[in-house]
Structure 1
Amino acid sequence: VEFASLRILDEDTQQMGLLAFSGPDGVEPPPDILPLQSPSGLALQEGRFKIEYAVSPEASSSQSSSTNSGTVCTIPLIGQRPLGVINVASTRAGHFTPDLVKLLTAIGEGLGALMENAHISDEREQLARQLVQSQKLETAGRLAAGVAHDFNNLLTLIMGHAYAGLSKLSDDSPPGTDLEEIEKAAGRAGELTQKLLAFSMRGEMEHQEVNVNELITGLEFMLGRLMGEDVEIDLSLEPDLDEVRADQGQLEQILVNLALNAKDAMPTGGTLTIQTGSSNLSTNDIGRRSGKLGERQVTISVTDTRTGMTQAVKERVFEPFFTTKADGSGMGLSTAYGVIKQGGGDIVVESEPGKGTSFTIYLPLLEQAAETSQTPRT
């Protein structure tokens, strides 16, 4: 065998990327990407060993040769799903004997099984990490709800006494200024308790019919002012999206907060991308996102182009009071998490150091949310 290449299928793009290539010195490697409509892709979809005439393992796919100077074989790699292909080729006639074909087929089946086992192991490890994180957030939510309830009762007493004291003093009385500051501070503390309740999914929300594209377009002018000249805003809105069930005011605040976080991550400028779309809940999403298999959701992604997060930061990013900012409260993202989850949706983060950060919000469609709310609870 003079040529060999290994390609892995990307389930999202439905294209096969080149992972490895071996060939004689001076021979250019095949294309980095092949579509599923290529001969190799068709062999993978059909799940069968395929032999054709070509110059190199990819010649028949790229159609770069008009002469039959060799034979190329495509061996599909299949586990519980199509995984990729191995292409091997020889310029010698009759090189691929029936025994060699059987051997290559066995190698493909064995490699496919190994890849599937590795994929399942990675999925289980990831699900275990997500379960631990979900349990941590649930525990923090219960604690936050209890603290917020007790704290709110104390604040009611403080504000009541401050108001009563103010009512007995004249406007120019010196103690009146102190009581006013106490009342203001108690008011700010009350806002904090509302954020804690939102995180614990026990706050009051006004769910309504929301068109996310119209909501984002309505925020565009304000976001432009907030971002300044150094940050370019790119809106990529999928047309004709279904309407969702959400608290419009809360959703607006979440998007503004995500945009401000993105600005902080781009101190020297960059691009803020807000993208909308739709997503169907697949088997890979079960256990990671709310909803039923096949359920359609509207997505909103807010992405920056700068510093990114470490894995340690990413695992704690939705915890209340956790912040990497010197002047941050640590409540913005935890509030967003609680509000989105209370509305039957999800918010996830993808980030790597130096590669930027993307927050994606998944929102239930209006009719699906209505069906869920009408389902009797036991």
Structure 2
Amino acid sequence: MDSETASLLAWSFGAAGVGYSLLASYLVSLGAQWRVGRRARVMLLAVVFGALWAGISFAALTTRESNLLFLASAIDIALYASWYAFIYFLLTPRATERATAVSLPGWLMPACALTIIGGLTLHLFFISRLLEGAEWTRTYYFHGLAKPVLGLILLEQLFRNVADDARWNIKPLCVALAGQMMFDVYLYSDALMFQHIDADAAMAKGLVHTITLPLLFIASLRGRDWTSKIRLSQRAAFHSATLLAAGLYLLLMSVVGYYVRYFGGEWGRAFQYALVFAGLMTLGILLISGSMRAKIRVLIGKHFFTYRYDYREEWLRFTQTLAAQDNPQAMGEQVIRGLANMVESPAGSLWLHDGQGIFCQAARWNLPASEGTASTNSPLILFLVESGWVVNLEEFRAYPARYGDLEIPPWLSDIPNAWLIIPLMVGSELQGFAILASSRTQMDVNWEVNDLLRTAGCQAASFIAKMQATEALLEARKFDAFNKMSAFVVHDLKNIVTQLALMLKNAEKHRHNPEFQDDMLMTVEHSVERMRQLMMQLREGATPPGSAVGVNLPDVIEQIRSDKARQGRIVTTQSDTPLMTRGHRERLERVIGHLVQNALDATPADGAVWISLDRIGDRAHLVVGDTGHGMSPEFIRDRLFKPFQTTKDAGMGIGAYESAQYIRELGGELLVDSTPNVGTKITLVLPILEIRQRSDLHAQEAA
């Protein structure tokens, strides 16, 4: 190392020493609020060790004294020990928090202690000459890599378990320490690879600590009580335990690999590569093994936590599983998967009530189909309804007296590895039951598992009941729509039948009249066409066949007037203005004809019925008026446009409702002005369709 590099390296550590000293002075100046509490004292101790480490490193590089550099290395171990203890105390609940916090994983403190003790022992071996220089250097690099790896594991667990509203406090601390430790991972992994410390990287280490010191200062400002809301989750414990186990496994394989390499002779290097490949393959198989993951989860929940389950995590996962599907067929399989995941079961089946008093298989997952059924009065169903228990078939076979009069049907015994029967209750009603296969690992089904499965079964039953109710409602709505459409069709058929009956009545008197015969043929032809259209409407839906087109309103009015004239009724018309609207001519004719017929029915023989058509702005106002009985405001408000409301003996109460619905579909409105014993005026306000004969270009040229 040249003198310029050594000088820069020294001054980088000097800057870090000054920064640590200023931070330590600031923490001391805060007074009693920082001197009280183990978290505060340990952080202050870590900052002091950081100042000592940086200062001694600066002195060692300035004086070229190797003993000082060795001392700085030992203090670096103490610095890591302080940060380990600080993070551990952040993860450890205080006395006031123990009622709600869960227990910490038991490997945290031993791992920290072994790392620190191993580093100090390594330095003692060097002093006592128990290790040669090359062996000590290689072991030192390995230990230097192990320290930040363990620190990153602790930081990962800390950051995972802090609550969202408390993460703001802890974020600067995590970023600062993660930056320092990740740099050490790079530094020592590079040293292990090339068997020497990179001088440029070592020179940057002091600058890295100097850069991260402001984040530690910000953390001290934010965090007088950083982690009052930290709760250790089982997921974090699972990931950390898996990471630690994988690391220990790889370390073991590395040791075996070095042994094979040095003592394997000419084939040592080839055997080493084969061993590393086999080790990585084995690790990959273990990591993707469902049984291995289940064993780790059960081990962690059983030995490291007061309660086996992280209920928040379980409930969110179960709810998300149920909400992933929106049809009853797929919902059944999702219910099985959600319940099976809680007890590490690889298969299951679901029996649901069919509405006829029989429970039959509705869904299955990794189990064969079963024809077995259970009636509502069978011993199994009666036991599930009365007790609400989760039936453990293994326990039932060993101690049947615990389940009283329960009888297991033969078809259930034929299901492979049948283990648990979970009732799906909605209140006091049994919606169904789930049967789960044996767990991937040995699992004690205690009160906690029973309560969780029973509660989850109730939620699953609610989801299934809601889905079935929704399906039933949709089916009822389809029938309602069909019935409504049928009512409209029957109403129109009634009008056609009335018209044909009137024609037959007049045929006895005028059957030899050629004009009547022509009119009769025209009426029959019109009736056949209307019935054909009604059949198409009934087959294709409520919307009339064909698209909306321009309809000449005066032509429609004249057609209605002539039809009523042939029936012997006089309707006065006033439609000199040529106006058009967009719609279906047959349906518009039916709507206006219905209003005219109602007016004729409500008007005495000496009264008057008329139709007028005017343009007001961009709307056509078609008025059907009469001097008949009239209607009260209450009747207009409450009954006139409601379906199945009528004052006629043979009426169905559909015509006015259908008329109002269709006028609204065209973008218009229907206005009623009626006075009892005076008369009624019903105004159809329709948008006008204007068809231009000349383009806008002609108008511009004329201007």
TM-score by length of 1: 0.40
Compare the two structures and name the one with the higher strand fraction.
1
Compare the two structures and name the one with the higher helix fraction.
2
Question: Whose radius of gyration is greater, 1 or 2?
Answer: 2
Compare relative contact order (CA 8 Å, sep 6+) and give the higher one, 1 or 2: 1
